[in-house]
Amino acid sequence: MTLELTAQDKSMLDGEQGPSAAAAMKILVAFSKAIGARSLLDISGAHIDGCLYHGKAGLDFVERLVEGGGRVQVQTTLNVGSFDLIHPGMVKMPAAEEVPARRLMKAHLELGCQATFTCAPYQTRFRPESGQQIAWGESNAIVFANSVIGARTNRYGDFIDLCCAMTGRAPAWGLHLSENRRGRILFELDVPDPEPSDSLFVGVGLIIGQASSDRIPVIAGLPQPRDEDQLKALGAAAATAGAVALFHAVGITPEAGTLDQAFQGMAPEETIRISRSDIDHALARLSGVPDGAPLAAVSLGTPHFSHEEWMRLLPLLREAAPGRGIPIYVNTGRATLARLQEEGALDGMEAFGLIPVADTCTYVTSILKRLDGVVMTNSGKWAHYAPGNIGVTVAFAEMRDCIRSAAVGHVLRSGT
């Protein structure tokens, strides 16, 4: 299959716009041919997932682009790095790792990327609009952009997302094209819940992630969410448990006003019913920690806490008044943190054990003071990854229960 290139594409490829643009276009062309794309399309923005330091190869790649005078061609945000540049003393990292980790974050800025360092770029002023073509990395951001906003991106991994940003182009393939965004598998939710909990959305996300494979899921019967943070939790869980990059929730998400619209007039390939027991089972697999287990810490904000979530958390802290020395880490974007500080919303909250974390996340870098006890979280993604990443034992619960547990010093769930 032939890949059609414009005169501008060929100009980049031939090195007429500098060695870095040529390198990025060469990689993008090779990738596009490998996946069978017929052409490239313009993008309006990108989100780069390569700021997390995994080794010298990643740094060398970005450094080479910097040395070649490279600059991103579209508005480009950055995912979390390995270091909290706002609170540097919090990270426990040997100098041999800290230096390249910091350098990798800085090198992306030298390419003209925005210093967002958040896994939730949709919470920033760089949020795309429905229908816009973008090239995003970071699994939760991808599924949120496609599903909740209605923007269009494939699941782009490290280096390809940056090549798209450097060229302003992406392959016209996959979820960029309308015909590939139709639902394929139907999940019928039968869970009466007039005030749906956050954990309901996490549970639904886990189930559709595990069962959908590479098919786009459509959810019928999902309760109207309290806010987009519940859809964020659903998407993050689905992308963590599987490879979901787009879901449709009938009557809720922008491309699923009706069941027929979600399936683009076609019939689902398979229908799966989800009951309350199915959700309870999915959530139970996130942790086997019993109530009463001693608590070492609480970690919230994976994906990063929004301003709205902070406004729900802070009254809970004042109400429960945890003060037993159990730290409550909250991962959040630096833009959200700056807004909270300007509002004075965090004044005095350290007395309750609150520790804001910016630019990174507690499951990808060494921040937690103790790893020898149970850590509670309301995040399906954190509960899934943290045991393997940092070796902690996790208890999953609603945010209110996480704060109540911090106040009493042990795991305490609703009804206990």
Set out the domains of the chain in order of their start, with CATH numbers: 7-178 (3.30.499), 182-284 (no CATH), 295-408 (3.30.499.10)
Q: Which residues lie closer than 8 Å to 202 by C-beta, 6 or more apart?
A: 233, 234, 237, 283, 378, 379, 380, 396
Tokens of 134: 């973008």
Q: Where are the beta strands (DSSP E) in 66-140?
A: 75-78, 134-136
Say how many C-beta atoms besides its own lie within 10 A of residue 63's C-beta. Answer: 16
> What would the mean pLDDT of 360-387 be, rounded to a whole number?
94
Determine the distance from the C-alpha atom of residue 331 to the mean position of all C-alpha atoms in its chain, rounded to a whole number: 12
> What's the pLDDT tens digit per position in 39-69?
999 999 999 999 999 999 999 999 999 999 9
**Residue 247 contacts residue 220 (beta carbons within 8 Å):** no
- CA-based torsion, 154, 159, 163, 166: positive or negative: positive
Looking at residue 370, its pLDDT comes to: 84
Give percent of the chain with pLDDT exceeding 90.
92
Looking at residue 259, its pLDDT comes to: 98
Looking at residue 371, its pLDDT comes to: 83
Looking at residue 49, its pLDDT comes to: 97
User: Which residue in 142, 141, 163 sits closest to 22, CA to CA?
Assistant: 163
Alpha-helical segments (H) within 124-187 = 139-144, 160-167
User: Is the confidence at residue 75, as pLDDT, over 80?
Assistant: yes
User: Is the confidence at residue 416, as pLDDT, over 60?
Assistant: no
CA atoms of 122 and 100, how far apart (whole Å) = 28
Higher pLDDT, 371 or 194: 371
Whether the bond into 254 is cis, omega within 30 of 0? no
> What's the pLDDT tens digit per position in 304-329?
999 999 999 999 999 998 877 899 99
Q: How far is CA 6 from CA 3, 9, 34, 42, in A?
A: 10, 5, 19, 11
User: Which residue in 100, 110, 118 sits closest to 55, CA to CA?
Assistant: 100
Query: How much is the mean pLDDT over the chain?
Result: 96
Looking at residue 194, its pLDDT comes to: 65
Looking at residue 415, its pLDDT comes to: 61
Helix (H/G/I), strand (E/B), else coil: 295: strand
User: Which residue in 51, 43, 20 sits closest to 115, CA to CA?
Assistant: 51
User: Which residue in 186, 198, 201 sits closest to 273, CA to CA?
Assistant: 186
> What's the pLDDT tens digit per position in 285-301?
998 899 999 999 999 99
> What's the pLDDT tens digit per position in 191-200?
886 678 999 9
User: Is the confidence at residue 8, as pLDDT, over 90?
Assistant: yes
User: Is the confidence at residue 333, as pLDDT, over 70?
Assistant: yes
> What would the mean pLDDT of 80-86 be, rounded to a whole number?
95
Looking at residue 9, its pLDDT comes to: 98
User: Is the confidence at residue 388, as pLDDT, over 90?
Assistant: yes
